[in-house]
Structure 1
């Protein structure tokens, strides 16, 4: 981006700083000499009728407000619509916007909203990530239980977006009550839904306010030359370190106010006059802050929430106090020397364990990307002992439940030490690094780790309802997990795997998708777990060689033969999980044979055969259409050749459509008997899960791979 002007502040005092009723603060300007550079130019459209209107981006975007203190700009954005009458569609508009070649980012203080009674609204950002709202007022479905309105948060870093609206049923029965569906991006708090909007939301030129983030240049605070003349955060202004870029932002230091992009414009705030001080008595303003002097000449600060004022005393008392203080200081010095000795000894032991548990591997990985994507708390051993009552709250195997000081429930997995410790340490660090970069509601969240003990630990969010394997193969639990729950679990799992492959910061192949690695919370929300065997996909490769790992029966046959790992490897494993959800049978039996998938595929020849292999606990008299659709999808996932399988994104979207269509499914839910013994079995029945499968970190075969 070429700079037209480079300066420390506004080039002159004669710059026009408003257009209509909108202020135009520096670094923005109405002319080249008044703006920081060409990217910050604002046009002022002065017509014969109405107030002048400021615009940016080739006069296409109207500006409502420019916030120099927050580095934000409020603009007006279009509304996508899809309208019908009794004859069919009459008009449709798709919104396409891009900020790829300028200084703006779409702020995550906006929300995506949709209005309608027969509506499918889709927002695509950065040309690949998709979120959607689908709802039907007539049947009471949708995210808002049929109120005709849906809204969702948007992520950070959006530079381009497409908003599309369509009808689920061509407005066949709702055209009179709701002739149009709408979708738009709007700033939080600037729009409140009213049911009257279903009939009359506004004209075709309807616009909604939204926020854009902006910054200076393309270098962050760490990269920019702060001594350069064109660096703007000067005087009482500071560079905002937490801004992720590109570019840097300025703000006034604590106790100052003004335009942080103009040198010496951040001036002292007089908290005493403004009434924003915390003094209990007199207030004295000082540069950047204020003082609250104690009455009667005493020392300290006399504030409302606390007072440090000291009482006056006689010389004898002062000498006594001084002597006592000197003795106390000597005692503290001796104590400090002793404690420092113990601290250094403890530090040496912790450093030894830190290196032994893969700390150096972790440091190399963090330094490789400057740690910007690895977000994991580092816990001390005494902290984990405290939250688990000294590891007294055992869940299963080496997993312990704990409650952090902020009330978050966590599961703490203590690592195992055996003869293959070197291989397990690589696996431990691999899972830590991969999960610390993932943020998805259907992927178990890694909170942190502890490396300073002989046995390292990983700290996860607590998922209370066990594994999907346990719910499928435990007789009592299997009766409670109805087909609708199984379909929802499959949809959420596919969405998580699709996210890992196509949306995560670095694409990830799980490599061990099976029901023992899918956890369920108390509302049967699926959480994909165990990433010890997972691999980050090299950005320049569609497939790459790797040592074969995974669980027998779920392993991609093409991967087993060629050792070429591709994104289709997880698709095959997920197809096996679908078969297990449908049949309720173990894929690998006691004789280590995997016949279930073959018999299932053979049963798809007719409905009678399919009904015979379906799980008896589903209590079906005939095969519903959604089960047939899922069965055929599983068949496509299980094709021997990876290129003939669908992608995980296609699998996730197809399951979402099947789930949405089956919302009004009429086949009855499974009834659970009230028999006391069976109820006890349901609540207390022993799991068939191996104790190490819960948040498990299992050893992998030795290989030449590096983590």
Structure 2
């Protein structure tokens, strides 16, 4: 019976192979988002794209390119190697009073994208002239003749209130200078200047009420990024960047014009549906341009000999396949076992065993999970289980067989040169025991990349609580003082109370989690490092998050405990102001929250930047004391900053001196219900770790 079932599966597979569908995405990956086809080398989800530049986020069925400023993706063309995106335009249609002068458009930086010279045109609408500049040098421009009229059909952009010109070569970045562009008198058209995809430049004049225009980007691939084994046909093109420089770009194409799919994938190119079941010749129709099938005359009925021969061959194939399948299962099981052992050794498993055996106190301190356990816990790392993605990897929510809810972090890559450091971190972080530090439960080393298992923290991040406050958890002054004290106590513990000092190196409000009782927990030690007692600083590649990064560390790559103090100072300012670390509304040096706050304090205008909600809570003296502490933490010279232990003690003192305005009580809502908790005026939640935590 089983052999018959297998035989039917083979016949169905052979039938389906004749009508194979074109493959656009890697196995297990989506190939569309909001009606937009996303073919490989682009992809949606982890390991679905060729590299990070080609990652696509599909939020609310709208595709975005997170690697280049989250530009909205409109369409993709594999043949031309172009992607159409929405970019902001330089126009006074939305704000006629604003004076547009040399506004920087999109900077593609180190990305593999270029502004397409074939598809884009520089367009000026209004009265006067505008130019494109690249690093101060003129690239192109055009002038218009002013004529008062309220409309201007875009397909007649020939010089009156509108002009167009091409760009002479591919660009990486540009500035648009509109100082010569004037808005005509009453009833005249808006003044706008932008680079736009000429195929999409149609309709009424000026994208009125719209701040974006479609633009075409040319994407490039290096030869080493393409797997030539899967590429039916490969082409090379030199793209001119001006000043005598070129970029080599390679692409794959299907071997036949009647094939569809991604030529960068195994068997990605397949005959189009019109040809899939064609018995005869299939090709382009010269008149219509469509692919048509020209069938041959039907063959006569099969002879009896042919039927017998076919059945005999089928039975033989069936026996051969069943034997091969059994051998395949045996070989696969043996191969998987050897592969797990190889991964365990490569990921530092033997080193972990050596370190545990070297010190009696470390034996069985680190729990080793199996790959099968974590696959079952995370439903085979289902996308629905993703809690978040970061620079170091993806975090999944899982449930172990004993019912514990955990967070499983899957690293992106393995740096074999850092394996000893990684194992040291696992061993020591497994022993870190502080109520305001996320507990590391163990790891799995028998997978291609190491998996870290930690406790699950349920109420999101501090960033979400500050910037998306809900009635369930009001961010009162007393609450913010408690959270700041908890974070400072945890960092003080890591810096000075552990057997080896730990520098976090990426303190930010998104790395502070809130548990079921809304207590702060420091998380994400993916970039943290241990420092021996005789080291004064740690020299590494610059890592961290802009807006929180210590200016001294950014310049010298020398990380000290005072660098964590600076990052904590930014978090402290977030709690005081309710503002984000980098603002899109402020301009210049005020875009940085730290700089904006320091300038306000220097000018004696600190109260103006504080969050209205905590000012209304009273406690002006405590707010100013916390602000003064934040100023000390943000000192540009690290040696003048306090230590985290000093910061924690000062916050304890400030919190003890603060009396909440409502009879010494703060109303907090937990789990949908309201319960009144008395706030101890002399600090009921002492964050100084006990000796049992060491």
TM-score by length of 2: 0.43
TM-score by length of 1: 0.43
